[in-house]
Amino acid sequence: MEDKAMVFLKRNEFGKIKEINGCEDVKKRLFELGLRRGAGVRILKNDIGPLILNVSGCKMALGRGLARNIILSI
Amino acid sequence: MNTIALVGNPNSGKTTLFNALTGSNQHVGNWPGVTVEKKEGQLKFNGNIYNIVDLPGTYSLGAYSEDEVVARDFIIKGNPDVVINVVDATNIERNLYLTTQLMEMGTKVIIALNMMDEAKSKNIDIDIEKLSQNLGIPVIPTIAAKKKGIDSLIQKAVEFINEDIYNYDPISYGENIDKEIHDIRILLKGSSREYPNNWIAIKALEGDKEVLNKLKSNELVNQHLISLADKASEYELEIVDRRYNFIGNIIHSSVNRPTESRETLTDKIDKIVTNKYLGIPIFAIIMFVSFQLTFVIGSDLLGGYVEGWIENLGGWLSGILLTLNTPDWLLSFLIDGVVGGVGAVVVFVPLIAVLYFFLGILEDTGYMARAAYVMDGLMRALGLHGKTFISMIVGFGCNVPGIMSTRTLENKKDRMIALLINPFMSCGARFPIYLVFISAFFADNGGIVLFLIYGLGIIVALVMGKIFSKTLFKGESSHFIMELPPYRLPSFRSVIRDMWDKVWDFLQRAGTIIFIVVTLLWILSIFPLGVEPYSQESLLGKIGTIIAPIFAPAGFGTWQASVSLFAGIAAKEAVVAVLGMVYGGASEGRELISAIQQAFTPLAAISFLVMTLLYTPCAAVLATVKKETNSIGWTVFMAVYPFIIGWVGAVFVYQVGSILGL
């Protein structure tokens, strides 16, 4: 097990959300959109611009700033 | 009449279900005081009529956006007899999150488990009986797009209206929070009953800004909340976690989803259209083709018909009026003013309709979300949100829908910037102005001039966006979070229906505000009585003469140019029409072009084009700004600041050009 910010994951890597840093509002919004503690995330694209990921069957685009604050355990 | 409300996540097929329930019996309005669209319709079932309200698509029922507040206020205060919660079967976990909040409100709710076909193709196995039992809520499987399960859904909803109870248990948030909720409920006893106390307590612990605001007057509760101190933020997320735990327990035994999902068609398409090299070029090509088709079909093919009809209508009407011995002034008002003026705007209906048709298809297929995605990087560098670009694209057709489409920006700052820069996107109505001046002066380089004009508009919009984000609207642009829904074949009927709603909106605008403005212009042109209409002696001409010196430094300080710009504030189409009238009744063809060649130098023509591109948006846009911002201040700002920028730009072009000896 290793902890990494989401933004450092490569395409097709998988991890579980361990924690989210940042202000409460943003955190809560992410939780509500399904990016909550314990959720499994697969990275579909991470080169330039927002990341694209799959969270429990749903495809999301997420800005890099946010992805820096989401810590996954791999 | 009983009311049934529809709630659900965006992309859950809620609108498709709404259409399936109501057919063509629907109308679109606005929720009072906000810019959120309100869709209502009627359902006939067993001889009864039910009112169906389509609430905005939301992920949650907090106070995150206007949409969420509208939805939850309606559920609580609008007293719907039953709420249908549309749940996307391919994404049950997150969709049920909204359901948990309906349960907290004590809503009488049934679930339409939609997109069962897609769930099946993804091998998601759902035990509906068990899911319903675990939740304590009836669950009816549906495929709204194929109209499957609709009858059983209606049957159940109607049955439920007459039942008085709901069967679900309250969600537990753990010992500490449950106790807090209990304590706050006791403190709330006896206070206003506008909202259920249980819900107020939960929302207060969640730090919901709206609810906290409402509780301000309640000393006891406030004291209690303050005493929680840093535990409060802990609770906030704990509550969300507990809701998910609750969902987890429910679907654990009723939903079986394969862990490793294979690459879908959507994934394959996305690999290409969001590719770091191909993304932007593909987007550019798609937009280019859409615009080309819009102009070919909307303007060349259909526009001519409408123009013909309006001319025939004018001829027919004047024929009748003449036999009735109508006085000249009334004749001139009805034919030149009403038919000519409103007609000048109605000519654009096919263009707008076709543009909406293409944009509707791009939206319905799911591509628009990808477009916002590929543009985000570029826009972010300018302090703007990726979705801003979509509203700019729409603005190329017409700035009114462009401004309306800024509604998809959730953050107030992002939305205001997108709204304020939209009029710099050169709309279809300004196109004829360019055409006239290009054929007068730059016939050999028309394409390049057009490209430069449109390009200048985009650059000014982006620069102003950057300036606004550094001055008037400081602070972080909201983060980019967006769902990328699976690609779907667009439903032809729903695209057409959406298109029609918007065209109708435009026609109403043309029928009211544009009619008024056109009438005023016409009155100005014939008074004082006896003068040659549209001459310098008319009021309109005098106004032009007064304004003219303002434009002298820009090289077009003539009363004719001034008056056409003045009329352009009514509607941009009027610029060419008025130029035609004031240059000695020249029609819009060759005569007008040679008149313009004599009145303008090539440099003054460029300067005039810069002005028409950038200056004050038309009355319809200003009316929309008023409606969307609900602020006279911003409406005035929108009228004034583009004028200053246009003027400075035009003067700059003319003065620098003069120095260079052009």
The secondary structure of B599-624 as a DSSP string is H--HHHHHHHHHHHHHS---HHHHHH
> Which residue would you say has higher pLDDT here, B392 or B262?
B392
- From the list A38, A47, A66, the residue facing B276 with the nearest CB is A47
CATH of the domain at A7: 2.30.30.90
Q: Which residue of B has its CA nearest to A43?
A: B267
What CA–CA distance (Å, rounded) separates B175 from A64? 37
B533 upstream amide cis, omega within 30 of 0: no
Does residue B592 have a pLDDT over 80? no
Q: Which of B66-75, B426-435, B558-567, B640-649 has the lowest mean pLDDT?
A: B426-435
- With a pLDDT cut of 90, the percent of chain B lying above it is 31
Does residue B580 have a pLDDT over 80? no
Q: Which fold has domain B175-256?
A: Helix Hairpins (1.10.287)
pLDDT for res B33: 60
Tell me which residue has tokens 């939305």: B415
Q: Which of B365-379, B424-438, B573-587 has the lowest mean pLDDT?
A: B573-587
Confidence of residue A70 (pLDDT cuts 50, 70, 90): very high
Whole-Å CA distances, B231 to B29, B220, B228, B254: 43, 18, 5, 35
Instruction: Spell out which residues of chain A touch residue B261, defining contact as CB-CB under 8 Å.
Output: 54, 57
Q: What is the mean pLDDT of residues B138-158?
A: 93
pLDDT for res B99: 95
Contact A24 B207 (CB under 8 A): yes
Cβ contact B333:B522 at 8 Å: yes
pLDDT for res A49: 85
Closest CA of chain B from A13, distance in Å: 13
- Condensed to tens digits (0 to 9), the pLDDT of residues B70-98 reads 899 999 888 899 999 999 999 899 999 99
Residues in chain A: 74
Whole-Å CA distances, B431 to B327, B397, B427, B617: 36, 10, 7, 14
Does residue B50 have a pLDDT over 90? yes
Does residue B589 have a pLDDT over 60? no
pLDDT for res B149: 94
pLDDT for res B348: 67
Contact B481 A60 (CB under 8 A): yes
Q: ipTM of the predicted structure?
A: 0.94
Cβ contact B387:B408 at 8 Å: yes
pLDDT for res A52: 94
pLDDT for res B88: 94
Cβ contact B577:B568 at 8 Å: no
- From the list B60, B237, B481, the residue facing A63 with the nearest CB is B481
DSSP E strands: which ranges in B156-216? none
Does residue B463 have a pLDDT over 80? yes
What CA–CA distance (Å, rounded) separates B344 from B310? 9
H-run or E-run covering A6? none
For chain B, give every domain's residue range: 2-162, 175-256, 279-428+476-506, 514-659
Whole-Å CA distances, B30 to A41, A67, B38, B55, B620: 38, 36, 5, 11, 17
- Condensed to tens digits (0 to 9), the pLDDT of residues A1-59 reads 789 999 999 998 999 999 898 887 788 888 888 898 888 999 999 988 899 999 888 89
pLDDT for res B419: 94
Q: Which residues of A touch B (CB under 8 A)?
A: 24, 26-34, 36-38, 44-45, 47-50, 52, 54-63, 65-66
pLDDT for res B491: 81
Does residue B638 have a pLDDT over 80? yes
**Partner A contacted by B262 (CB < 8 A):** no
Does residue B448 have a pLDDT over 90? no
- Condensed to tens digits (0 to 9), the pLDDT of residues B594-634 reads 888 888 999 999 999 999 999 999 888 898 898 888 889 99
pLDDT for res B192: 64
The domain containing residue A55 runs over which residues?
3-73
Confidence of residue B531 (pLDDT cuts 50, 70, 90): confident
Q: Which of B13, B71, B27, B20 is nearest to B43 (CA)?
A: B20
> Which residue would you say has higher pLDDT here, B467 or B165?
B467
- From the list B93, B206, B270, the residue facing A52 with the nearest CB is B270
**Partner A contacted by B272 (CB < 8 A):** no
Q: What is the mean pLDDT of residues B6-22?
A: 91
pLDDT for res B509: 65
Does residue B394 have a pLDDT over 60? yes
Q: Return the CATH superfamily for domain B2-162.
A: P-loop containing nucleotide triphosphate hydrolases (3.40.50.300)
Confidence of residue B504 (pLDDT cuts 50, 70, 90): confident
> Which residue would you say has higher pLDDT here, A55 or B587?
A55
Q: What is the mean pLDDT of chain B?
A: 85
> Which residue would you say has higher pLDDT here, B260 or B178?
B178
pLDDT for res B29: 67
pLDDT for res B35: 58
Confidence of residue B143 (pLDDT cuts 50, 70, 90): very high
Q: Which of A49, A48, A53, A23 is nearest to A35 (CA)?
A: A53
Contact A65 B90 (CB under 8 A): no
Q: What is the mean pLDDT of residues B381-408?
A: 83
CA B186, B188, B192, B194 dihedral sign is negative
Q: What is the mean pLDDT of residues B123-152?
A: 93
Contact A24 B257 (CB under 8 A): no
Q: What is the mean pLDDT of chain A?
A: 89
pLDDT for res B95: 94
pLDDT for res B261: 65
Phi, psi of B224 (to 5 degrees): -60, -45
